[in-house]
Amino acid sequence: MVHFYSRVLFLLGFSFGILLFFVERKCLNSEQKIVKTLSYNQWFKSLGLTRKTVHWDVLRYNPNLTVTIEASFLFTKIKILCVILVRNEKNARASKSTWGNGCNNVEFLDIETSKNKLSPKKRVKGKSSWALLCQKLKTVTKEYDWVLIVNDDIFVIMENLRFYLAPLEATATYYLGHAVVFWSTVYNSAQAGYILSSGTVDAFKEKFTKTDCLEDMYWNREDFYLGRHLASLNITPVDTRDSAGFSTFHPHNLNQLFFTGDNHYKTSVFPSKCCSKKLISFQGIEGDKMYTYHYLLYTLQIFDEGNLGNTYSPHTIVDDQVWRTFLEGRNISADNVTSEQYYQIWENLIDDPTSFAANMKRENFEYD
């Protein structure tokens, strides 16, 4: 009989817990702030600016063209400090060399982790991710409008981020990212990165003039603790989906975004839907993939029209003369070249996959 009542009490408690979970989520969803502001185009127009589309063919091959690229304008207009939480040095280097070029400044926080279960590192309060982040936010200067905080395995499209931020007033209190709920606390997940306005940073500094950053020392929960402290200041996450309801901050990699599992967004506060045309962040997984994404976004150029660069030669060359002209342009006699030597000449001109990847990592996209 005792076992019977124990089971009944367990089932009642379990059912009540599930009921509270759904009630809590419903209340949390209804209490979230809705950002009402100018659209980007309204903000852009309010500055007295105009724009026009210029095709790649003109940008690349017209030496007399003088224009200001919109991304370059936003780079100078909206100052962003990027704080990268480093757990993998290779990823950190890739982040700075790729999307990090779009930050006005990049700073690293070296997060101590231990994957060796046999000899774990001793936990030191001052070295926890929360303590390091807390101390860093207390030292952010007035020169930045926004502070972006990301893990080292996240890829951020900075142009889209600035597009989202431009109409917002940085001196107001904004806390943006992918909102999740844990232990009744709504916060922005570090798995997607999150961004704080200068107004929020100032409010945070004011709170921690009297509060010690070492109060919360648990590892790898800096996003949760930040959300909890900001909530005490009535600064909470907002819905960052675009006007069509598509998500902009994603806590998963591209494969998971395109092939969504049932549990991918189970803790998300707002329904997640892939993917916004103004996608801001997603997991890059590892450094090598970040270089690939960066190459596709900033180096690869598709010429769908134009007549400046892609033009026919004014001189007609017969097919048999093409390879001879190629060799003569390199001061190589075409009379005594074997097919193997000809192949070797082309092989020396074209990078093998390893060299191509190495060269790709050395390239930098100029934002300004």
Residue 80's pLDDT is 96
pLDDT of residue 219: 58
Q: Please state, in angstroms and rounded to a whole number, the distance separating the CA atoms of residues 250 and 224.
A: 17
Q: What is the pLDDT of residue 277?
A: 85
Higher pLDDT, 12 or 189: 189
**Does 68 score more than 70 pLDDT?**
yes
Q: Which of 144-153, 260-269, 279-288 has the lowest mean pLDDT?
A: 260-269
- Residue 260: the pLDDT is 62
226 or 325: whose pLDDT is higher? 226
pLDDT at residue 163 tops 90: yes
pLDDT of residue 118 exceeding 50: no
Residue 169: pLDDT over 70: yes
- What pLDDT sits at residue 290? 87
pLDDT above 60 (res 296):
yes
Q: Mean pLDDT over residues 197-202, rounded?
A: 94
Does pLDDT of 353 surpass 70?
no
Is the pLDDT at 201 greater than 70? The verdict is yes
Residue-range domain boundaries for the chain: 1-31, 40-114+122-299, 319-362
Look at residue 265 and tell me whether its pLDDT is greater than 90.
Answer: no
- The pLDDT value recorded for residue 306 is 75
With beta carbons less than 8 A apart as the criterion, state whether 123 and 217 touch.
yes
Q: What is the CATH number of domain 40-114+122-299?
A: 3.90.550
CB 218 within 8 A of CB 127: no
Mean pLDDT of 259-276: 68
Structure tokens at 333: 């006699």
Confidence band of 323 (pLDDT split at 50, 70, 90): confident
The pLDDT value recorded for residue 360 is: 56
pLDDT of residue 124: 47
Structure confidence at residue 239 as a pLDDT band (50, 70, 90): confident
Whether 100 and 82 have beta carbons less than 8 Å apart is answered as yes
Range picked from 23-27, 29-33, 228-232 for highest mean pLDDT: 228-232
Q: State pLDDT tens for residues 89-105.
A: 888 899 999 999 999 99
pLDDT, residue 293, reads: 87
Q: What pLDDT does residue 327 have?
A: 77
Average pLDDT of the chain?
Answer: 76
Is this model's pTM higher than 0.85 or not?
A: no
The more confident residue out of 42 and 115 is 42
Q: Which of 35, 39, 38, 36 is nearest to 278 (CA)?
A: 39
